[in-house]
Homo-oligomer: A and B are copies of this chain.
Amino acid sequence: MTRVSANLFVSLDGYTASDPTPENPMGDGWSQLTAAWGATRTVRERVFGDHSGARTTGVDDAHAAAFFRGVGAEIMGAGMFGLHAFPDDPEWKGWWGDEPSFGTPVYVLTHSAPRPPIVMQGGTTFHFRNEPIETVLAEASEAAGDRGVRIGGGSGVAHAYLRAGLIDDLHLMIAPVVLGRGNRFWDDLGGLEVTHRVSSEVSESGTIHIAFTR
């Protein structure tokens, strides 16, 4: 069976970043929640093309390196792709740059009209699907071959897969902040420690890494 994973940024009080808007494409709270992650050498290199090496290399970076390993296909919401920003521009290729860091097929969940796939440099192809999440997961699993499927986000998409019991490996990065608002992560997930094994680790940045593993 294909393993399905998700990685999410959550505050101590259980909030993910608020929903993206055109003015605030990552949502309120995003920069606080992801500061430690964005400071790792792996993310600087893989996402931002910064090969200076002058970034953190500790526990956060080890998790970041694991994040990029073994993924054969990705599923994300339209907001994470950036579809809502320019919904009527057929030339818009999302905000992941000319060579997105995924390097795999990426299935974008959308309620919009079908659009053709977009082939990017570096192995990423965006496919747009208006189908149930289970159907898209089946297609992504097939495409992933012997590698895993990552549910990239946003948090609403990851939450839908979690509620449906479809995530095998959930990695939470809890930033040491009390946001007080955002999207509630933990709702409807009671008893997750019964179906999954829990382990936790605190990094040098104060980020609490929690892994739920089925």
User: Which of the residues B181, B190, B199, B202 comes within 8 Å of A179, measured between beta carbons?
Assistant: B190
Q: Which residues of B contact A13 (CB under 8 A)?
A: 14, 186, 189-190
- The interface bits of chain A over 175-214 (1 if a CB of B lies within 8 angstroms of the residue's CB, else 0) are 0111111000010111111000011111000101010000
Copies in the complex: 2
Question: CA of A12 to CA of B196 in the docked complex: distance in angstroms?
Answer: 14
User: Which of the residues B14, B186, B199, B206 comes within 8 Å of A200, measured between beta carbons?
Assistant: B206
| Chain B residue at smallest Cβ distance from A172 | B12
Evaluate contact between B210 and A193: CB separation under 8 angstroms. no
Question: CA of A206 to CA of B192 in the docked complex: distance in angstroms?
Answer: 15
User: Which of the residues B176, B193, B199, B206 comes within 8 Å of A177, measured between beta carbons?
Assistant: B193
Q: A12-B186, A13-B14, A14-B14 are in contact. Are A178 and B206 (CB under 8 A)?
A: no
Instruction: Report A69 CB to chain B, min CB distance, Å.
Output: 23
Evaluate contact between B193 and A176: CB separation under 8 angstroms. yes
Q: Which residues of B contact A192 (CB under 8 A)?
A: 178
Instruction: Report A33 CB to chain B, min CB distance, Å.
Output: 12
| Chain B residue at smallest Cβ distance from A177 | B193
User: Which of the residues B176, B178, B189 comes within 8 Å of A178, measured between beta carbons?
Assistant: B189
7 closest residue pairs by CB, A with B? A180-B190, A13-B186, A176-B198, A178-B192, A200-B202, A14-B14, A177-B193
Give residues in A with beta carbon < 8 Å to B: 12-14, 176-181, 186, 188-193, 198-202, 206, 208, 210
Return 22 A-B CB contacts under 8 Å, by A number: A12-B186, A12-B193, A12-B210, A13-B186, A13-B189, A13-B190, A14-B186, A176-B193, A178-B186, A178-B191, A178-B192, A178-B193, A179-B190, A180-B186, A180-B188, A180-B189, A181-B190, A198-B206, A199-B206, A200-B208, A202-B202, A202-B208
